[in-house]
Structure 1
Amino acid sequence: MSYPTQQFHPQIYIGGKWCDAQSDQRASIINPATEELLGEVAMAGKADVHAAVSAAVAAKAAWADTSGQVRAGYLRAIAQAVLAQRDQLAQLQTANNGKPLAEAAIDVEDVIATFNYYADLAAELDAEQDQQVSLPSSDYRANLRREPCGVVGLIVPWNFPMVTAAWKVAPALAAGCTVVLKPSEITPLPELALAAIIDQVRLPAGVFNLVTGSGAEVGAALVAHPGLSKVSFTGSTAIGSAVMKSAADDLKGVSLELGGKSAALVFADADIEAALDIVCGGIFFNCGQMCSATSRLLVDKSIAENFIARLKQRIETIVVGDPLASATQMGPITSAQQYQRVQQYIQQGLASGARLLTGGGRPADLLKGYFLAPTVFTEVPLDSAIWREEIFGPVLCVNTFDTEDEAVRIANDSDFGLVATLLTGDEQRAARVSAALQVGLVWVNSGQVIFPQTSWGGMKKSSIGRELGPWGMHAFQEIKHVISAVRK
């Protein structure tokens, strides 16, 4: 199997048409496993953003007036087209992001499931509209309406290309919004492929628009554009803060999915074999490039020596290499910039006095690509950068605890509150600790499974709002009540 070459559209998509960016500038897209050129894409600018928003504004009223059934039909058609192209799309994900092909295939299935789920919700909208509200007075009648919030700007990251786009595009379209999507400049290829699919199903012109380019220019121009009613952003906490400040200038609505520094808690009564698998998956899936990465491991002191020894053995068998090879379990970091950033954190970890248990450098047999061996630190100072800051790479930090209360306290001692993993054989403890953890999602004796039907988002600096589930669509709807006097 070989990497795809130029299996994507190099232009931007505005008003139902592919067009060149007005600057005629291009950006090179690099395969992180080979450091070779995959192709070039357009670099849009402020004028292109304005054109995309204008197209979305022009299409807004007509799309808002379509029935939920009609919107559902388009969403199902998109899901069906993704299904028909899933093998090619998985290869494109792998080529652009570097994740193993098996992980990319999971991503494509997630995209299909997300569009189908929001198609079902869209189909229910017509029957749910104008719901009657119970009032304490028979002199009045009240009805509830959910209406689309208008034109929305959607900005997505590079770690799960197409997936994070689907999590925003599908509910926004289901709600009746028109959209302008800005993918990461590092991994725009899957989103360009999604745009081609949306064009293929003949979604009305202007309902969906896509502009590629840098966050500093295109992202900033999109957030600041007065034609938007809302911005939905997924990315780093620092950039999320800047997005929120910019949106405040004209009081746009904002949804933010940001960083994490999540904990996995292993109690002495856990199934150790299952726990080892879950801990490894929680930090080394997608090369640790997940906001939900459980990068802080807390182990009951009574089992810590044995558990950590077995964890080291397990980690050192992880196959790092060519993402297209069936044996590969972890691919490269997605970009040169992120590769350097993770290496800097490893150096900070060493300087902090943490003990490097395994990894820390490039695998000896991989001379090209942004590859890093799975890395584990133990005895990590609780005030160190590697314990407190999001690394976004395959770096696991380990500490121990004596009591349940101490485990919860350490886990909650974070600026973030996205997810947590809890490994225990005691159902009562599982209930207690799940309730005590300050996060938006807890996995109990489970890997990081995600369903469109459940919410995604967290507490503290991890999120504002929720994605997925009905809450994902509600994020793109406004609430209107109509109160009428009852004629006697």
Structure 2
Amino acid sequence: MTTAETETGVLAGEQRMLIDGELQLTSGGATFDVLHPASEQVAGQASDGTIEDMARAIGAARRAFVTTDWSRDLDFRYHCLTQLAQALERNKERLRRILITEVGCPVAVTGSQIESPIAEVTHWAEHGKNFDYLIDNGVHDTPLGPARRKIHYEPVGVVGAITPWNVPLYLNIAETVPALMAGNTVVLKPAQLTPWSGSEYGRIVADETDIPAGVFNVVTSNANDVGAALSADPRVDMITFTGSTATGRAILAAGAATVKKTLLELGGKSAHIVLDDADFNAALPMAAMMACVMSGQSCILPSRILLPRSRYDEGIEILKTTMENFPVGDPWTPGTMQGPQISETQRQKVLGLIRSGLDAGARLITGGGIPPDLPVGYYTQPTLLADVDPDSLIAQEEIFGPVLTVTGYDTDDDAVAIANNTIYGLSGEVSSADVDRAFAIACRMRTGNVTINGKSHFGIGSPFGGTKQSGLGYRNGDEGYKEYLETKTIGMPE
């Protein structure tokens, strides 16, 4: 690593894609620009892959799955992923600078996007090495006599991974490493706004590991139809996707003809129910901070705060104070906790939803626009809206910006009904001095994950997935690993 690469500041990433073990540009050399959202300037280029490039990558993955020992050699997979973890660790400061350049994520909060995914590579290598791929299910009586049954877990085949831009390196790792350790081959299609977190990953695999050609491929592109081609290709056995519910529906439709296995983590509109006996000074400042720390660009963010009417004004004041004092600015500056939105398009979506909330009768408490001291960069003020109608657009649609909505409720039943009044069911939160009461509320929330009194549900050892239109299947935990495996039951003589 050069001295320049260890310094702070904008850093362009790897332009080339990884297809069949070779780092390469697309035919003709076409590229597209990658913008730094804090400066609105072009930071560099990425290869603008085509449908033909995607087809070659899928063909390479199919060939590698069928003709190599990757799916059968557990020890070799463990060796390669241990190499990968070590290589990512060596490259982590370069990856950090690329992440900040692409996303605008403040350097102070990059740990969850750099150190955490590197640690997860080691976790999945160990998990896969120790997983029991063959289980004796005992002897069973049948009309033809006793039969012993064994359950064999085996790789799905070719996995297509389509990842979003909000936490790109983390999700590139989360959607590919367990798949690889389970014995699958992979084609990764990174988000258009954050191609380098994928192409750098590909470079590291090619240059610093023994992962065979074709086992792992990365295709970057600025065209939506390239990702669609991955979803529809009959040579792909499974699609794993994190992103919007609208795109998730399209992926399901594209894979329907071949009945693809599909793992989806989709949108969220999570509610934080603050009960009347809660410690407001403990719960609400953290709620306000979490709304801002990733510029609101988090699917599990509890963006709807539900307050008891008996303490409504008190809660509003605490949220207001925190949001008005939250450090927003240049992501390269230590101490900054909120950077820009990923793009001007995303910022305008956020501002438009704020306007729609005001038009529907919400009351603006603070924020609502562009910070006057940050005229350059895609910044949005931390925004608090009160008196929000639970049926209004801003209470129903995922905002993906530093915006909290507040709605009052009268009873616990009322709070649960409001929390469940959405097509989404990804996450949620309950705050109360009475943990049993909070647990009872959590059990009634129609969502895949709930945090009680700040004790996070999210972790590599616990299953994470959504209900309703927030997704299908699980990441993390043993359940998450099994998503990348097929279950085969074998009957045999006793």
TM-score scaled by structure 2?
0.95
Aligned partners of 2:493 and 2:250: how far apart in 1?
A: 46
Moved more, 367-376 or 442-451: 442-451
Aligned partners of 2:457 and 2:323: how far apart in 1?
A: 21
Structure 2 unaligned spans of 5+: 1-6
Aligned partners of 1:293 and 1:212: how far apart in 2?
A: 28
Which residue, 169, 172, 184 being the options, matches 1:165? 172
Aligned partners of 1:439 and 1:122: how far apart in 2?
A: 28
Contact 1:22/1:47 (8 A) holds in 2: no
Distance 1:215 1:447, change over 3 A: farther
* 1:379 paired residue number: 387
* 1:25 paired residue number: 30
* 1:136 paired residue number: 140
* 1:150 paired residue number: 157
CA distances 1:301-326 after superposition (whole Å, capped 9, x unpaired): 22211121121011100011001111
SS at match of 1:110: helix
* 1:35 paired residue number: 40
Give the length in aligned residue pairs: 483
* 2:482 paired residue number: 474
Aligned partners of 1:176 and 1:213: how far apart in 2?
A: 26
CA RMSD in angstroms comes to 1.5
SS at match of 1:250: coil
Contact 1:3/1:92 (8 A) holds in 2: no
**Amino acid of the residue matched to residue 108 of structure 2?**
A
Distance 1:14 1:226, change over 3 A: same
Aligned partners of 2:72 and 2:484: how far apart in 1?
A: 16
* 2:17 paired residue number: 12
* 2:193 paired residue number: 186
SS at match of 1:467: coil
* 2:3 paired residue number: none
CA distances 1:135-193 after superposition (whole Å, capped 9, x unpaired): 33372111110010100110000011111111111110011000000000101112222
In the alignment, structure 1 residue 357 sits paired with structure 2 residue 357: no
- Identity of matched residues, %: 35
Pairs within 5 Å for 1:312-461:
312-446=320-454, 448=456, 450-461=458-469
Contact 2:139/2:146 (8 A) holds in 1: no
Deviation at 1:93, TM superposition (A): 0.9
Moved more, 63-72 or 339-348: 63-72
CA distances 1:179-215 after superposition (whole Å, capped 9, x unpaired): 0000001011122221122121121111000000135
**Amino acid of the residue matched to residue 362 of structure 2?**
A
Aligned partners of 1:464 and 1:65: how far apart in 2?
A: 25
Aligned partners of 2:269 and 2:290: how far apart in 1?
A: 12
Contact 1:69/1:122 (8 A) holds in 2: no
Deviation at 1:64, TM superposition (A): 4.2
Aligned partners of 1:215 and 1:64: how far apart in 2?
A: 31
SS at match of 1:196: helix
Contact 1:79/1:111 (8 A) holds in 2: no
**Amino acid of the residue matched to residue 112 of structure 2?**
I
* 2:73 paired residue number: 67
Contact 1:232/1:254 (8 A) holds in 2: yes
SS at match of 1:413: coil
Contact 2:449/2:457 (8 A) holds in 1: no
In the alignment, structure 1 residue 106 sits paired with structure 2 residue 107: no
SS at match of 1:50: helix
Aligned partners of 1:342 and 1:355: how far apart in 2?
A: 16
Moved more, 9-18 or 441-450: 441-450
In the alignment, structure 1 residue 255 sits paired with structure 2 residue 260: no
Deviation at 1:282, TM superposition (A): 3.1
SS at match of 1:135: strand
Contact 1:234/1:257 (8 A) holds in 2: yes
**Amino acid of the residue matched to residue 17 of structure 2?**
I
**Amino acid of the residue matched to residue 155 of structure 1?**
I
Moved more, 447-456 or 374-383: 447-456
Moved more, 195-204 or 51-60: 195-204
Aligned partners of 2:69 and 2:357: how far apart in 1?
A: 52
CA distances 1:221-280 after superposition (whole Å, capped 9, x unpaired): 111111101111111111110110010012111111110000011122222222123212
Contact 1:54/1:227 (8 A) holds in 2: yes
Query: Following TM superposition, where does structure 1 have runs of at least 4 consecutive aligned residues deviating by more than 4 angstroms?
Result: none
